[in-house]
Structure 1
Amino acid sequence: MNGILSIQSHVVFGHAGNSSAVFPIQRMGIEAWPIHTVQFSNHTQYTQGFTGKAFDSEDIRTLIKGLANIDQLAHCQAVISGYQGSAEQCLAVAEAVNQIKAESPSCLYVCDPVMGDPKKGCIVSDGVAEQLIENLMPVADVIVPNQFELTQFTGIEINNVEQAITACQKAMTLGPKVVLVKHLHSVSDGVFTTILATENGCYLLQRPEIEFERAPVGVGDLISAIFTACLVKGMSAVEAFQHTNNAVYGVLKVTQQRGSWELMTIAGQDEIVTPSNQFEIQKIA
Structure 2
Amino acid sequence: MGRVTTILSIQSSVAYGHVGNSAAVFPLQRLGVEVWPVHTVHFSNHTGYGAWRGPLMAPEDVREVVTGVQERGALEEVDAVLSGYQGGEQIGEVILDAVARTKAASPRAIYACDPVMGNAKSGCFVHPAIPVLLRERVVPQADLITPNQFELGFLTETEPDDLDSTLASVEAARAMGPSTVLVTSVLRPDRPEGTIEMLAVHGDGAWIVRTPHLPLKANGSGDVTAALFTAHLLETGDAGLALGRTVSSVFDLLQRTLDSGRRELQLVQSQEEIARPRMQFDVERLR
Report TM bin, short chain.
over 0.9
**What fraction of aligned residue pairs are identical, expressed as a percent?**
38
Q: Is the 8 A contact 2:148 2:183 kept in 1?
A: yes
TM-score, normalised on structure 2? Answer: 0.94
Q: Secondary structure at the match of 1:10?
A: strand
1:190 aligns with 2:194: yes
Tell me what 2:136 maps to: 134
Please identify, of 240-249 and 32-41, the stretch whose mean Cα deviation from structure 2 is larger. 32-41
Instruction: List gaps (5 residues or longer) in structure 1.
Output: none
Instruction: Indicate which of 42, 45, 66 corresponds to 1:39.
Output: 42
User: 2:126, 2:54 → 1: CA distance?
Assistant: 16
Root mean square deviation of aligned Cα? 1.5
**What are the equivalent positions in structure 2 for 1:75-154 lying under 5 Å apart?**
75-154=77-156
Q: Which residue identity does 2:102 align to in structure 1?
A: I
User: 1:22, 1:248 → 2: CA distance?
Assistant: 15
Q: How many residue pairs end up in the alignment? A: 282
Tell me what 1:210 maps to: 214
Q: Is the 8 A contact 1:150 1:181 kept in 2?
A: yes
1:199 aligns with 2:167: no
C-alpha offsets along residues 85-109 of structure 1, whole Å, 9 cap, x if unaligned? Answer: 1101001111110110010000111
Q: Secondary structure at the match of 1:36?
A: strand
Instruction: Indicate which of 7, 12, 17 corresponds to 2:15.
Output: 12
**Are the structure 2 counterparts of residues 196 and 185 from structure 1 closer, same or farther at C-alpha, using a change threshold of 3 Å?**
same
User: 2:10, 2:77 → 1: CA distance?
Assistant: 16
Please identify, of 55-64 and 175-184, the stretch whose mean Cα deviation from structure 2 is larger. 55-64
Q: Secondary structure at the match of 1:182?
A: strand
User: 2:53, 2:128 → 1: CA distance?
Assistant: 20
Please identify, of 1-10 and 99-108, the stretch whose mean Cα deviation from structure 2 is larger. 1-10
Q: Secondary structure at the match of 1:268?
A: helix
TM-score, normalised on structure 1? Answer: 0.94
Instruction: List gaps (5 residues or longer) in structure 2.
Output: none
Instruction: Indicate which of 53, 60, 63 corresponds to 2:62.
Output: 60
Q: Which residue identity does 1:106 align to in structure 2?
A: R
1:277 offset after TM fit, Å? 4.4
User: 1:25, 1:282 → 2: CA distance?
Assistant: 25
Q: Is the 8 A contact 1:67 1:73 kept in 2?
A: yes
User: 1:84, 1:268 → 2: CA distance?
Assistant: 27
Q: Is the 8 A contact 2:131 2:155 kept in 1?
A: no
Instruction: Indicate which of 250, 253, 256 corresponds to 1:251.
Output: 253
Please identify, of 228-237 and 190-199, the stretch whose mean Cα deviation from structure 2 is larger. 228-237
User: 1:232, 1:255 → 2: CA distance?
Assistant: 27
1:237 aligns with 2:239: yes
User: 2:174, 2:162 → 1: CA distance?
Assistant: 19
Q: Is the 8 A contact 1:86 1:126 kept in 2?
A: no
1:121 offset after TM fit, Å? 2.2
User: 2:120, 2:251 → 1: CA distance?
Assistant: 22
Q: Secondary structure at the match of 2:185?
A: coil
C-alpha offsets along residues 44-91 of structure 1, whole Å, 9 cap, x if unaligned? Answer: 2225x2222321111221111101111000001111010111101001
